Chain A
Amino acid sequence: MKTSREKAKEICTKSQYGEATWWEILQLNVYLLFYKDCAQFSAKNSKLTSLCEQANMQVISEEDKEAMKKELEKQL
């Protein structure tokens, strides 16, 4: 069973991707009022989002990685 704090933190993560429902956002705002650690977590979570955007990272697709692995295995 998740505690209210854990639930609030999960909603906070969901809201970083704009996928929290209005009801979840309402719940989150209530939690933020009462739990200081949730507010700190929320601030850090937002910072992580902005850092990820700022870094402009890219990844190799899983498909390409699988192809790379096969090529590498041939050499092993």
Chain B
Amino acid sequence: MDGHDRLLAAFLAGDLDQAAAREWDDHLLECDQCWQAVREDRAGRQAAGLLYRPAPAGLADRVGFAVELAAGASSPRRSPGVRLRRSWLAAAGALAVGLALTTTLLHLPGGRATMSAPVAAVAQYAETMLPLAQQAGLGTGARAAPLQVGHPLTMTAGGHHIVLRTWRLAGTEVAEATSGQPFPMPPGARGTSGGGMAWVARVGKLSLYCINGRTSELVAAAVPAAELPALAARLPVV
């Protein structure tokens, strides 16, 4: 781009002072080459402007939800005033959230620093979502069929593609994560019957129960660890 073109670009950007701009106006009346350049500039700008698309409805909710989760993952204790908005809970259900929580979740507080990212992500999801599902006030009897709260949520953690569901079952809320890859056993977990494919663990108030296989399933709920396998067995096969 020569000096002439640079001046033209400055003219089009409105950078020239009044006198210089007037000179260019006069010049454009006489110079076909520059006038063609102006027309092409305008045409290119107009054409590019046609590519604008408004952000999809719900994207802000999705992003807000992801940031909330990341904030929860990096905060030692959620303050009482900080809660996920209900609208985000609703939006989260409809969204396929490709969470990239690996970095933050690898440094979770509360003794989870050595937990693998997929397990930590599921625990974080359960800690965040289960109280909200409880607030939703959906009641089921002890013998009633599991009731799904919201819609499945998809996220990625530590390279694992994980589908998360929230259930209301036997008077409590249960988070269920399924993945095509096994959930690594966290420190402090113990194997259960099933030839080393299944394990249970405690994370804060949550119990985790995992059955690794072709499709691995990790279930989390605020119940005693001994009760979780029976709850998990009542969940529908997905």
Specify whether A and B are partners: no
Residues on A lying within 8 angstroms of B by beta carbon are: none
Residues on B lying within 8 angstroms of A by beta carbon are: none
